[in-house]
Amino acid sequence: MNTTTNREWWKEAAVYQIYPRSFADSDGDGVGDLRGIVDRIDYLDRLGVDVVWICPVYDSPNADMGYDIRDYRTIMDEMGTMADWDELLAELHDRDMRLLMDLVVNHTSDEHEWFQESRDLDGGKDDWYIWREGSPEEPPNNWISLFGGPAWTYDEVREAWYLHLFDEKQPDLNWENPDVRDAIYDMMNFWLEKGIDGFRMDAISCISKPPGLPDADTGEDWFDMDLYFNGPRIHEFMREMAAETFENYDVMLIGETPGADPEEAKKYYEDGVDMVVHFDHMDVTYGPGGKWSPDYVGMETLASAGDDELDAMLNTMDLADLQAAIRYWDEGVGDEWNCLYMGSHDQTRAVSRFGDDRQYRRESAKLVATFLLSQRATPFLYQGDELGMTNADWDSADDIRDVEARGQVEMLMADHDVPYETIAPFVRNRSRDNARTPMQWDDGENAGFTDGDPWIQVNDNYPEINAAEALDDSDSIYHYYRRLLAFRRESDVLVYGDTEYVLPDETYPNVWAHRRTLDGESVLVVLNWQGEERTLDTDWVDAPVLFGNYAASERDGATLRPYEARILDRSE
C-alpha cells in the first residue's frame, strides 16, 4: 500500500536524541543540564529537526546515568529544576518542536523510596519488586544480567534476593502487582498533563516476567535471554497502560523492545505504540559471539595490531547483512512503521562504526546521513553525529564511566588474564561512553561543553571537529544534514514511498542501492560504501542527481568516488 493516506506527523518528523549529561553545561559543574539545552535550541531548530528526545533527567544516583530513577517527578539536581524543564518545553513548542521524555518503568533505582519500603516486609510495598527467599549462597535461578554478572542480588536487610535484569542498582518492578501499575500510570499522566509530546519507552518488552521465573537455557558459550522479553502478560499490560494514559493524548510512542521481531512488534502497534526500536542493523558490525566477545580477533591481535587495523576488524560489516536487517524490519512490519537510528547513547559513534572516521570522515558521515534519511522510517539523529563526532581513546580503565563497559572490561581482563591496555582498543569500539563524550561545541577549553571539570573525558579531536567550525563551513556534515532534512521534509516519496532493495549484489558487494516509489515518483539512492572508487553500469547512475555528498564538479559520471552518495531522480 504505502500511499500518503496514512499520514502522521510522527512519520514525517525527524527526531534528535539528546543525552543531557553530555550536551551542554550551563553552570560549570561539569554535567550537562536543561538550561544548557535551552541555550542551544536554536542550533537544533536551524538543523531542522522536529522532535527532541531527552534521555532521563529525573532524580537519580546515576549508577546507569539516569536510567536508575530515584524519583520520577523530580528533576535531578545536576540537570536543574522543574522550572528549567518547563522553560525547555515552552521554548521547543514556541518553535513548533516537540519533546519526548524517556519512560523507564521496568526498574527503578534501589534508592527509590518504593524499593526502600519494599526491603521492609511490613512496609506495605513488600511485593513491589521481584523478591525470592533462599540461601544467600544460591541465587533463585541462573539468570544473568543484560550488563553481565548475576541478575540477582542478595539484600542483607530483607534477607532475600531481588531481581535486576540490568545493574544491581536497578531492581525490576513487579508488574504483576496492580498497585505498581497504577503508580506508574499516575506518574505517566503527570508528565502527559505537563504537555509532553510522547515517550520513548525504555526496555518496555521486559516488564512481564515468565511465571515461576524458570532457568534460562544455557550452553558452554551461550545463554538464551529470550525469557526476559515479551513475557506472557506484556500486551495486557500495554493495553491497560494505553487506556489509562497515552490513548487520551496525541503523542508519539516509541517502544524500546529488545527481543521483539516484526510479528511481535505488530502486537505493540495494536497496543498503541507507534514504532519500536530494533537492533538487528546494529548487530551487523559485531563478530560472532556478539558485542563483547573479542575471540574472533584474539587477544594477541588486540595487543599487537595498530589502531587502524583494529578499528577495521572490530567494525567489519557485510553490506548484504545490513540490507537484510533493514529489509527484515521494513517488509516485516508491512503497513506499520519503523524508526531508524545509526547511533544512540547506547552505541558507538555512527561514523566510526559504519564509515571511516580517519581518511573519509566527512564523506562517510554524509553517506550514513543519506542512508538514514532515505529509508521508510522515522529517522533518529543522535547528538554529535551531525558533526561527525568519532569514537574516543580510553587510555585508562579509570576513565570509563559506563556501567556496562566497566563490568565487561573486568570480566574480559579476568577471563583472559590480560592487562587493561590489551582491552583498550575493544573499549574504543564497543563502550557506550564513545557516544557520551561531551558535545563538541567549539575549539575552546573542554570543547565549549563546560567551564568546569567534565564528568567524562572530552574527545581529543575537538579542535578540528566542533559545531562552530561546522556552522561556518557550508560543506560541513552539519549543513549536509540540514539540507537533507529540508529535502526530506519536502519529499513525500522519501517519507512514504515503497522501497525496493536493489544493491548490493555479487558484482557490487560494497555498493548499496534502494529505490523509493510513490504515485509515479521514483528516486534511486546509491551509496558507494567503501573507501575506493567504483564504476557502475551507467544504467544505474544515468539520471539527474537530486542530492549528493560530492559537488557536481567532483562527480565522475558512472564512477562513484569513495563513500559517494547520490539520490537520483528516476521518475518516469
Is the separation of the CB atoms in 498 and 522 below 8 Å?
no
Contact letters for ligand NOJ, residues 89-128 (x by CB under 6 A)? ---------------x------------------------
Q: Is 402 exposed, middle or buried (0-12, 13-18, 19+ CB in 10 A)?
A: buried
Grid cell 558533526 in the structure block, residue: 387
The correct pick among 203, 350, 471, 536 for binding ligand NOJ (CB under 6 A) is 203
Length of the chain: 572
Residue 166 touches ligand NOJ, criterion: CB under 6 A: yes
Nearest approach in angstroms of CB 63 to ligand NOJ is 10
Q: Which is nearer to ligand NOJ, 59 or 202 (CB)?
A: 202
Residues 250-269 that bind ligand NOJ (CB under 6 A): 256
Question: Cα 87 vs. chain centroid, distance in angstroms?
Answer: 26
Q: Is 41 helix (H, G, I), strand (E, B) or coil?
A: helix
Q: For residues 88 and 195, give the distance between their C-alpha atoms in angstroms, rounded to a whole number.
A: 12
Nearest approach in angstroms of CB 20 to ligand NOJ is 13
Residue 199 touches ligand NOJ, criterion: CB under 6 A: no
Q: For residues 478 and 197, give the distance between their C-alpha atoms in angstroms, rounded to a whole number.
A: 26
Residue 439 touches ligand NOJ, criterion: CB under 6 A: no
Q: Which is nearer to ligand NOJ, 40 or 169 (CB)?
A: 169
**Phi/psi at 244 (5° precision):** -80, -20
Grid cell 558512472 in the structure block, residue: 558
| 131-132/15-18 β-pairing | unpaired
Helix (H) or strand (E) holding 512: strand 511-518
The correct pick among 33, 64, 356, 363 for binding ligand NOJ (CB under 6 A) is 64
Q: Which is nearer to ligand NOJ, 64 or 110 (CB)?
A: 64
Q: For residues 383 and 379, give the distance between their C-alpha atoms in angstroms, rounded to a whole number.
A: 13
Catalytic residue among 64, 202, 274, 363: 202
Question: Cα 31 vs. chain centroid, distance in angstroms?
Answer: 20
Nearest approach in angstroms of CB 503 to ligand NOJ is 32
Grid cell 528549567 in the structure block, residue: 84
Residue nearest to ligand NOJ (CB): 67
Nearest approach in angstroms of CB 16 to ligand NOJ is 16
Q: For residues 83 and 349, give the distance between their C-alpha atoms in angstroms, rounded to a whole number.
A: 33
Q: For residues 498 and 514, give the distance between their C-alpha atoms in angstroms, rounded to a whole number.
A: 10
The correct pick among 59, 197, 202, 271 for binding ligand NOJ (CB under 6 A) is 202
| Strands ordered across the beta sheet of 511-518 | 498-503, 511-518, 521-528, 565-569, 545-548
The correct pick among 346, 386, 469, 564 for binding ligand NOJ (CB under 6 A) is 346
Q: Which is nearer to ligand NOJ, 25 or 64 (CB)?
A: 64
Residue 172 touches ligand NOJ, criterion: CB under 6 A: no
Catalytic residue among 68, 78, 172, 256: 256
Residue count, binding to ligand NOJ (CB under 6 A): 9
Q: Which is nearer to ligand NOJ, 145 or 429 (CB)?
A: 145
Nearest approach in angstroms of CB 182 to ligand NOJ is 22
Cα Rg of the chain, angstroms: 23
Q: Which is nearer to ligand NOJ, 66 or 562 (CB)?
A: 66
Nearest approach in angstroms of CB 203 to ligand NOJ is 5
- End-to-end CA separation in angstroms for the chain: 20
The correct pick among 10, 23, 67, 191 for binding ligand NOJ (CB under 6 A) is 67
* 176 given a catalytic annotation: no
* 270 given a catalytic annotation: no
Q: Is 445 helix (H, G, I), strand (E, B) or coil?
A: helix
Residue 386 touches ligand NOJ, criterion: CB under 6 A: no
Residue positions annotated with a catalytic role = 202, 256
Sites of contact with ligand NOJ (CB under 6 A): 64, 67, 104, 166, 202-203, 256, 345-346
